Amino acid sequence: VWFQPQYDYQTKAYTGAEALVRWRHPHKGMISPGEFVPLLEHSSLITRVDRFVWEKTCRCLRAWQDAGIAVPVSVNISRMDLCQPDLPETLTELVRQNGLAPSQLRLEITESAYVDKPDRLIAQVNQLRDAGFSVEMDDFGSGYSSLNMLKDIRIDVLKLDMKFLSGGEESRGRQIVQSVVDMAHRLDMRVIAEGVETAQQARELTALGCDAMQGYYFSRPLPPEELEKILRAAGAQAPQPAPAAMMPS
Ligand code: C2E
Ligand code: CA
Ligand code: CA
Protein backbone atom coordinates (compact mmCIF):
# COMPACT_ATOMS: atom_id res chain seq x y z
CA VAL A 1 0.00 0.00 0.00
CA TRP A 2 1.46 3.34 -1.09
CA PHE A 3 0.33 6.82 -0.16
CA GLN A 4 -0.01 10.00 -2.16
CA PRO A 5 0.04 13.19 -0.09
CA GLN A 6 -2.57 15.94 -0.36
CA TYR A 7 -1.44 19.50 -0.06
CA ASP A 8 -3.07 22.81 0.82
CA TYR A 9 -1.31 25.43 -1.27
CA GLN A 10 -2.81 28.26 0.76
CA THR A 11 -1.57 27.13 4.17
CA LYS A 12 1.45 25.26 2.71
CA ALA A 13 0.60 22.18 4.72
CA TYR A 14 0.03 18.54 3.97
CA THR A 15 -3.59 17.91 4.85
CA GLY A 16 -3.92 14.21 4.14
CA ALA A 17 -2.99 11.35 1.85
CA GLU A 18 -4.68 8.71 -0.25
CA ALA A 19 -3.86 5.01 0.15
CA LEU A 20 -3.32 3.33 -3.23
CA VAL A 21 -2.73 -0.37 -3.62
CA ARG A 22 0.19 -1.82 -5.61
CA TRP A 23 1.04 -5.37 -6.58
CA ARG A 24 4.69 -6.27 -6.25
CA HIS A 25 4.89 -9.19 -8.66
CA PRO A 26 7.87 -11.54 -8.20
CA HIS A 27 8.76 -11.48 -11.92
CA LYS A 28 6.90 -8.56 -13.45
CA GLY A 29 7.79 -5.97 -10.82
CA MET A 30 5.34 -3.33 -9.72
CA ILE A 31 1.88 -3.65 -11.28
CA SER A 32 -0.43 -0.66 -11.13
CA PRO A 33 -3.95 -1.06 -9.74
CA GLY A 34 -5.37 0.12 -13.06
CA GLU A 35 -4.39 -3.31 -14.37
CA PHE A 36 -5.88 -5.52 -11.68
CA VAL A 37 -8.48 -3.59 -9.66
CA PRO A 38 -11.05 -3.55 -12.50
CA LEU A 39 -10.69 -7.35 -12.79
CA LEU A 40 -11.10 -7.88 -9.06
CA GLU A 41 -14.12 -5.59 -9.05
CA HIS A 42 -16.00 -8.19 -11.07
CA SER A 43 -15.89 -10.51 -8.10
CA SER A 44 -15.93 -10.20 -4.35
CA LEU A 45 -12.11 -10.49 -4.39
CA ILE A 46 -11.89 -6.70 -4.37
CA THR A 47 -13.43 -6.64 -0.90
CA ARG A 48 -10.49 -8.71 0.39
CA VAL A 49 -7.95 -6.41 -1.22
CA ASP A 50 -9.73 -3.33 0.12
CA ARG A 51 -9.87 -4.82 3.59
CA PHE A 52 -6.12 -5.46 3.40
CA VAL A 53 -5.56 -1.83 2.37
CA TRP A 54 -7.75 -0.47 5.20
CA GLU A 55 -5.92 -2.61 7.76
CA LYS A 56 -2.50 -1.59 6.53
CA THR A 57 -3.59 2.05 6.46
CA CYS A 58 -4.86 1.90 10.05
CA ARG A 59 -1.59 0.33 11.18
CA CYS A 60 0.35 3.11 9.46
CA LEU A 61 -1.93 5.79 10.95
CA ARG A 62 -1.32 4.30 14.38
CA ALA A 63 2.45 4.30 13.91
CA TRP A 64 2.46 7.85 12.54
CA GLN A 65 0.28 9.08 15.35
CA ASP A 66 2.67 7.52 17.85
CA ALA A 67 5.47 9.38 16.07
CA GLY A 68 3.58 12.66 16.42
CA ILE A 69 2.40 12.81 12.81
CA ALA A 70 -1.32 13.25 12.39
CA VAL A 71 -2.73 13.39 8.89
CA PRO A 72 -6.00 11.71 7.92
CA VAL A 73 -5.75 9.13 5.12
CA SER A 74 -8.37 8.36 2.50
CA VAL A 75 -9.02 4.79 1.43
CA ASN A 76 -10.95 3.60 -1.60
CA ILE A 77 -14.28 1.91 -1.00
CA SER A 78 -15.48 -0.08 -3.97
CA ARG A 79 -19.01 -0.80 -5.02
CA MET A 80 -18.75 -4.37 -3.68
CA ASP A 81 -17.76 -3.08 -0.24
CA LEU A 82 -20.91 -0.99 -0.13
CA CYS A 83 -22.95 -4.14 -0.66
CA GLN A 84 -21.73 -5.44 2.70
CA PRO A 85 -24.45 -4.40 5.16
CA ASP A 86 -21.97 -4.46 8.06
CA LEU A 87 -19.49 -2.06 6.41
CA PRO A 88 -19.97 0.69 9.03
CA GLU A 89 -19.41 -1.82 11.87
CA THR A 90 -16.37 -3.33 10.12
CA LEU A 91 -14.71 0.04 9.68
CA THR A 92 -15.65 1.22 13.16
CA GLU A 93 -14.13 -1.92 14.66
CA LEU A 94 -10.99 -1.48 12.59
CA VAL A 95 -10.32 2.07 13.76
CA ARG A 96 -11.21 1.12 17.33
CA GLN A 97 -8.73 -1.79 17.34
CA ASN A 98 -6.01 0.61 16.25
CA GLY A 99 -6.96 3.27 18.78
CA LEU A 100 -7.87 5.77 16.05
CA ALA A 101 -10.72 8.23 15.68
CA PRO A 102 -12.99 7.53 12.69
CA SER A 103 -12.19 11.03 11.41
CA GLN A 104 -8.64 9.86 10.67
CA LEU A 105 -9.85 7.38 8.05
CA ARG A 106 -11.62 9.03 5.15
CA LEU A 107 -13.68 7.03 2.73
CA GLU A 108 -13.57 7.59 -1.03
CA ILE A 109 -16.62 6.36 -2.85
CA THR A 110 -16.63 6.61 -6.60
CA GLU A 111 -19.74 8.23 -7.96
CA SER A 112 -20.45 5.28 -10.26
CA ALA A 113 -21.28 3.28 -7.12
CA TYR A 114 -24.48 5.30 -7.01
CA VAL A 115 -25.86 3.95 -10.26
CA ASP A 116 -27.37 0.60 -9.33
CA LYS A 117 -28.73 0.90 -5.81
CA PRO A 118 -29.11 4.54 -4.86
CA ASP A 119 -31.27 3.86 -1.80
CA ARG A 120 -28.85 1.41 -0.34
CA LEU A 121 -25.94 3.73 -0.99
CA ILE A 122 -27.71 6.67 0.67
CA ALA A 123 -28.38 4.55 3.77
CA GLN A 124 -24.78 3.30 3.87
CA VAL A 125 -23.27 6.78 3.49
CA ASN A 126 -25.53 8.16 6.22
CA GLN A 127 -24.51 5.36 8.56
CA LEU A 128 -20.82 5.86 7.80
CA ARG A 129 -21.11 9.59 8.48
CA ASP A 130 -23.10 8.97 11.66
CA ALA A 131 -20.24 6.71 12.77
CA GLY A 132 -17.87 9.66 12.37
CA PHE A 133 -16.24 8.88 9.02
CA SER A 134 -15.74 11.57 6.44
CA VAL A 135 -17.09 10.58 3.02
CA GLU A 136 -15.48 11.77 -0.19
CA MET A 137 -16.95 11.44 -3.66
CA ASP A 138 -14.16 10.21 -5.93
CA ASP A 139 -13.90 11.15 -9.60
CA PHE A 140 -16.67 13.70 -9.29
CA GLY A 141 -17.99 14.74 -12.66
CA SER A 142 -16.55 11.86 -14.63
CA GLY A 143 -19.76 9.81 -14.56
CA TYR A 144 -23.41 10.53 -15.07
CA SER A 145 -25.10 10.75 -11.73
CA SER A 146 -23.09 13.27 -9.74
CA LEU A 147 -25.53 16.14 -9.42
CA ASN A 148 -28.50 13.94 -8.79
CA MET A 149 -26.52 12.08 -6.18
CA LEU A 150 -25.54 15.28 -4.37
CA LYS A 151 -29.18 16.14 -3.96
CA ASP A 152 -29.81 12.96 -1.98
CA ILE A 153 -26.57 12.25 -0.15
CA ARG A 154 -24.56 14.31 2.27
CA ILE A 155 -20.93 14.15 1.24
CA ASP A 156 -18.01 15.88 2.95
CA VAL A 157 -15.56 16.21 0.07
CA LEU A 158 -15.69 16.25 -3.73
CA LYS A 159 -12.62 14.90 -5.50
CA LEU A 160 -12.33 16.49 -8.89
CA ASP A 161 -9.98 14.78 -11.33
CA MET A 162 -8.10 17.17 -13.59
CA LYS A 163 -7.84 14.40 -16.19
CA PHE A 164 -11.49 14.72 -16.97
CA LEU A 165 -11.05 18.35 -17.92
CA SER A 166 -8.04 17.78 -20.17
CA GLY A 167 -8.44 18.05 -23.90
CA GLY A 168 -11.22 20.64 -23.69
CA GLU A 169 -10.97 24.39 -24.07
CA GLU A 170 -9.00 25.74 -21.14
CA SER A 171 -11.26 28.63 -20.25
CA ARG A 172 -14.32 26.36 -20.23
CA GLY A 173 -12.46 23.94 -17.96
CA ARG A 174 -11.71 26.78 -15.58
CA GLN A 175 -15.37 27.87 -15.52
CA ILE A 176 -16.42 24.31 -14.73
CA VAL A 177 -13.95 24.03 -11.86
CA GLN A 178 -15.00 27.43 -10.53
CA SER A 179 -18.67 26.41 -10.63
CA VAL A 180 -18.01 23.08 -8.94
CA VAL A 181 -15.97 24.73 -6.18
CA ASP A 182 -18.67 27.37 -5.61
CA MET A 183 -21.41 24.75 -5.52
CA ALA A 184 -19.40 22.54 -3.15
CA HIS A 185 -18.76 25.38 -0.73
CA ARG A 186 -22.43 26.41 -0.76
CA LEU A 187 -23.29 22.84 0.16
CA ASP A 188 -20.63 22.82 2.89
CA MET A 189 -18.30 20.43 1.08
CA ARG A 190 -14.58 20.75 0.47
CA VAL A 191 -12.96 20.18 -2.91
CA ILE A 192 -9.78 18.21 -3.47
CA ALA A 193 -8.34 18.44 -6.98
CA GLU A 194 -6.60 15.30 -8.16
CA GLY A 195 -4.10 14.77 -10.97
CA VAL A 196 -2.47 18.18 -10.48
CA GLU A 197 0.66 18.04 -12.60
CA THR A 198 1.85 21.61 -13.13
CA ALA A 199 2.58 24.76 -11.16
CA GLN A 200 0.09 26.62 -13.31
CA GLN A 201 -2.70 24.19 -12.45
CA ALA A 202 -1.84 24.42 -8.77
CA ARG A 203 -1.90 28.21 -8.90
CA GLU A 204 -5.17 28.39 -10.75
CA LEU A 205 -6.88 25.81 -8.59
CA THR A 206 -5.85 27.72 -5.49
CA ALA A 207 -7.16 30.96 -7.00
CA LEU A 208 -10.43 29.19 -7.78
CA GLY A 209 -10.79 28.23 -4.12
CA CYS A 210 -9.86 24.54 -4.25
CA ASP A 211 -9.23 23.35 -0.69
CA ALA A 212 -6.48 20.81 -1.30
CA MET A 213 -4.59 19.19 -4.16
CA GLN A 214 -3.10 15.85 -4.99
CA GLY A 215 -0.93 15.06 -7.98
CA TYR A 216 2.49 14.43 -9.44
CA TYR A 217 3.35 18.13 -9.12
CA PHE A 218 3.38 17.70 -5.35
CA SER A 219 4.34 14.05 -5.08
CA ARG A 220 3.83 10.68 -6.70
CA PRO A 221 2.37 7.93 -4.49
CA LEU A 222 5.09 6.85 -2.04
CA PRO A 223 5.85 3.82 0.11
CA PRO A 224 4.77 4.45 3.73
CA GLU A 225 8.27 5.07 5.03
CA GLU A 226 8.86 7.77 2.42
CA LEU A 227 5.57 9.48 3.14
CA GLU A 228 6.48 9.41 6.80
CA LYS A 229 9.82 11.05 5.98
CA ILE A 230 8.27 13.97 4.12
CA LEU A 231 5.54 14.46 6.73
CA ARG A 232 8.11 14.40 9.46
CA ALA A 233 10.35 16.85 7.62
CA ALA A 234 7.37 19.12 7.03
CA GLY A 235 6.18 19.06 10.62
CA ALA A 236 2.90 20.94 10.73
CA GLN A 237 4.10 23.22 7.96
CA ALA A 238 5.10 21.70 4.64
CA PRO A 239 7.86 23.21 2.52
CA GLN A 240 6.66 25.14 -0.46
CA PRO A 241 6.95 22.95 -3.57
CA ALA A 242 7.04 25.78 -6.09
CA PRO A 243 9.13 28.95 -6.28
CA ALA A 244 7.52 31.84 -4.42
CA ALA A 245 7.20 33.84 -7.63
CA MET A 246 4.76 31.26 -8.92
CA MET A 247 2.32 31.62 -6.05
CA PRO A 248 -0.99 33.35 -6.65
CA SER A 249 -1.18 36.79 -5.14
P1 C2E B 1 -8.08 6.86 -8.10
O2 C2E B 1 -8.74 6.43 -6.83
O3 C2E B 1 -8.75 7.93 -8.88
O4 C2E B 1 -6.61 7.25 -7.71
C5 C2E B 1 -5.88 8.28 -8.33
C6 C2E B 1 -4.95 7.74 -9.39
O7 C2E B 1 -4.35 8.84 -10.07
C8 C2E B 1 -3.80 6.92 -8.84
O9 C2E B 1 -3.50 5.91 -9.79
C10 C2E B 1 -2.68 7.94 -8.79
O11 C2E B 1 -1.40 7.37 -8.79
C12 C2E B 1 -2.95 8.68 -10.05
N13 C2E B 1 -2.37 10.02 -10.04
C14 C2E B 1 -2.02 10.75 -8.96
N15 C2E B 1 -1.53 11.96 -9.32
C16 C2E B 1 -1.57 11.99 -10.66
C17 C2E B 1 -1.19 12.99 -11.63
O18 C2E B 1 -0.72 14.07 -11.31
N19 C2E B 1 -1.39 12.67 -12.93
C20 C2E B 1 -1.92 11.48 -13.32
N21 C2E B 1 -2.06 11.26 -14.63
N22 C2E B 1 -2.27 10.52 -12.44
C23 C2E B 1 -2.12 10.78 -11.13
P24 C2E B 1 -3.26 4.41 -9.35
O25 C2E B 1 -2.55 4.35 -8.04
O26 C2E B 1 -2.66 3.73 -10.53
O27 C2E B 1 -4.72 3.88 -9.08
C28 C2E B 1 -5.63 3.75 -10.15
C29 C2E B 1 -7.00 3.45 -9.65
O30 C2E B 1 -7.06 2.15 -9.06
C31 C2E B 1 -7.48 4.39 -8.53
O32 C2E B 1 -7.92 5.60 -9.08
C33 C2E B 1 -8.59 3.57 -7.92
O34 C2E B 1 -9.76 3.67 -8.68
C35 C2E B 1 -8.04 2.18 -8.03
N36 C2E B 1 -7.44 1.81 -6.75
C37 C2E B 1 -6.20 2.07 -6.26
N38 C2E B 1 -6.04 1.54 -5.03
C39 C2E B 1 -7.23 0.95 -4.71
C40 C2E B 1 -7.70 0.23 -3.56
O41 C2E B 1 -7.02 0.03 -2.54
N42 C2E B 1 -8.99 -0.22 -3.63
C43 C2E B 1 -9.79 -0.03 -4.72
N44 C2E B 1 -11.03 -0.51 -4.70
N45 C2E B 1 -9.37 0.64 -5.80
C46 C2E B 1 -8.11 1.12 -5.80
CA1 CA C 1 -9.56 7.29 -5.09
CA1 CA D 1 -9.95 9.68 -8.24
The beta-carbon contacts of 184-193 under 8 Å, at least 24 apart in sequence, are: 184/158, 185/209, 187/150, 189/155, 189/156, 189/157, 189/158, 190/156, 190/157, 190/158, 191/157, 191/158, 191/159, 191/160, 192/6, 192/136, 192/157, 192/158, 192/159, 192/160, 193/159, 193/160, 193/161, 193/162
Q: What is the pLDDT of residue 69?
A: 92
Which ligand 1 atom is the nearest neighbour of the CA of 75?
41
Q: How far is the CA of 33 from the centre of ligand 3 (A)?
A: 12
| Per-residue pLDDT, 166 | 80
pLDDT of residue 35: 94
Provide the pLDDT for residue 115.
66
pLDDT at 58: 98
User: Which ligand does the CA of 160 lie closest to?
Assistant: 3
Is the C-beta atom of 81 inside 6 A of ligand 1?
no
CA of 152 to the centre of ligand 1 (A): 26
Low-confidence ranges of the chain (pLDDT < 70): 113-116, 144-145, 236-249
Q: Is the CB of 5 under 6 A from ligand 1?
A: no
Is 158 close to ligand 1, i.e. is its CB under 6 Å away? Answer: no
Quote the pLDDT of residue 238.
38
Can you give the pLDDT at residue 3? 98
- From 31, 53, 194, mutation site for ligand 1 pocket: most ligand atoms within 8 A of C-beta: 194
pLDDT of residue 171: 84
- Looking from the CA of residue 163, the nearest atom of ligand 1 is 21
> Which pLDDT value is given to residue 163?
82
Residue-level pLDDT at 77: 96
**Atom number in ligand 1 closest to CA 217:** 18
